[in-house]
Amino acid sequence: MSLTRFLLEAQHQGQIDAELRLCITVVAQACKAISIAVGKGALGGVLGDAGTGNIQGEAQKKLDVISNEILMDANAWGGHLAGMASEEMDHAVPVPKHDRDDDAKYLLLFDPLDGSSNIDVNISVGTIFSVLPYQGSGELRDEDFLQPGTAQVAAGYCTYGPSTMLVLTVGHGTHAFTLDREVGSFVLTTPNVTIPEDTREFAVNMSNQRFWEPQMQNYVGDLLKGKTGPREKDFNMRWVASMVADVHRILTRGGIFSYPLDEKCADKGGKLRLMYEANPMALLVEQAGGAASTGRQRMLDVTPANLHQRVPVFLGSRNEVEAAEKYHRD
């Protein structure tokens, strides 16, 4: 089944309306264009630094900038969006009045190219997106976006790896589509993705260990003790350093992904961004039967204070996320 047919059926079943269907279709179209740009690599002249920085003070790669432009241009004229916010831009951008329906219902948020440190070394990167309802009126403001993750009406990511895959939820399960490059369309390859409840695999950047809180030190310390430790089983570790690729592995075979609070990011509240990374991934993971938490609170219940807010992240196999939370609460 193609993504087009999947979305039409979701509309017929009352899960989404025509505007949301258009929004997801346009995002998927933009992801195909990004996939082509990423796939060209050195031949397309797209590798390397752009020579600019984003609002987070991070150096931008050429593909960060290109992907952001592709998503902005693709979504600017459909009429269904009131505005967009991107990890790469300081503030939300309103869709110009002449390109927008009077009753435009939705807001689109995205991390145009997540894992950009992996671009130049030919490792999987991805686009993450989230759709929120627009309830404001008058001039669009950043505050219109400050809704908890439970308000999301759709979320997804596209991973640009050996194959290009779009993983999507509209609140009725999580579904994975693979891009048929010859035909140019996304095809449903795994309906109703289900994350195993238990796991023996964790994902974390271990080089930060000495900067973690004692709770995290204890949690990972016990994982590393293996069979003879309190967790009574051996654990394996994986870390791609592209959240999209790490989460994709967890949706495929289980595991726990964590980017905890550490001394280096404590003043910012964490490393990963709530609105562009944590919330969309949390909805996808919950819809696949997993759990997502800050370590102390369900991720989707966090009320954002600003557009670029950062949070600690624990997500994946339900029982393992609960175990990690227990260490943080106790």
Ligand X SMILES: O=P(O)(O)OC[C@H]1O[C@](O)(COP(=O)(O)O)[C@@H](O)[C@@H]1O
Q: Which residues are annotated as a binding site for substrate?
A: 114-117, 205, 271
Numbered residues of the known binding site for Mg(2+): 87, 111, 113-114, 277
CB of 165 to ligand X, least distance (A): 16
Q: According to the binding rule CB under 6 A, does residue 127 interact with ligand X?
A: no
Q: For residues 135 and 205, which CB has a smaller minimum distance to ligand X in the complex?
A: 205
Which one among 83, 112, 115, 316 touches ligand X, defined by CB under 6 A? 115
Residues between 200 and 239 with contacts to ligand X, criterion CB under 6 A: 205
With beta carbons less than 8 A apart as the criterion, state whether 325 and 293 touch: yes
Which one among 38, 155, 243, 300 touches ligand X, defined by CB under 6 A? 243
Q: What is the 3-state secondary structure (H, E, C) of 130-161?
A: EEEECCCCCCCCHHHHCCCHHHCCEEEEEEEC
- Give the range of 18-26, 37-45, 109-117, 134-142 binding ligand X by CB under 6 A: 109-117
Q: According to the binding rule CB under 6 A, does residue 286 interact with ligand X?
A: no
Q: For residues 116 and 294, which CB has a smaller minimum distance to ligand X in the complex?
A: 116
Q: According to the binding rule CB under 6 A, does residue 251 interact with ligand X?
A: no
Strand-pair partners of 180? 185
Cα Rg of the chain, angstroms = 19
The tokens 């994946």 sit on which residue? Answer: 316
Cα–Cα distance between 311 and 296 in angstroms, integer? 11
Q: Which of 68, 65, 66, 74 is nearest to 27 (CA)?
A: 74
Residues for the chain: how many in total?
330
Residues between 8 and 27 with contacts to ligand X, criterion CB under 6 A: none
Q: What is the DSSP letter of 58?
A: P
Cα–Cα distance between 132 and 78 in angstroms, integer? 16
User: What is the x/- site pattern for ligand X, positions 47-86, by CB under 6 A?
Assistant: -----------x----------------------------
Which one among 59, 237, 241, 266 touches ligand X, defined by CB under 6 A? 241
Q: According to the binding rule CB under 6 A, does residue 117 interact with ligand X?
A: yes
Strand-pair partners of 237? 202
Contacts of 116-123 with C-beta under 8 Å, sequence gap 24+, read 116/60, 116/61, 116/63, 116/64, 117/241, 118/240, 118/241, 118/242, 118/245, 119/38, 119/47, 119/61, 119/63, 120/47, 120/48, 120/61, 122/41, 123/240, 123/242, 123/245
Numbered residues of the known binding site: 87, 111, 113-117, 205, 271, 277
Q: For residues 83 and 126, which CB has a smaller minimum distance to ligand X in the complex?
A: 126
Q: According to the binding rule CB under 6 A, does residue 116 interact with ligand X?
A: yes
Q: Count residues contacting ligand X (CB under 6 A)?
A: 10
Q: For residues 78 and 156, which CB has a smaller minimum distance to ligand X in the complex?
A: 156
State which residue has the least CB distance to ligand X: 243
Which one among 88, 114, 286, 325 touches ligand X, defined by CB under 6 A? 114
Binding site for ligand X (CB under 6 A): 58, 114-117, 205, 241-243, 259
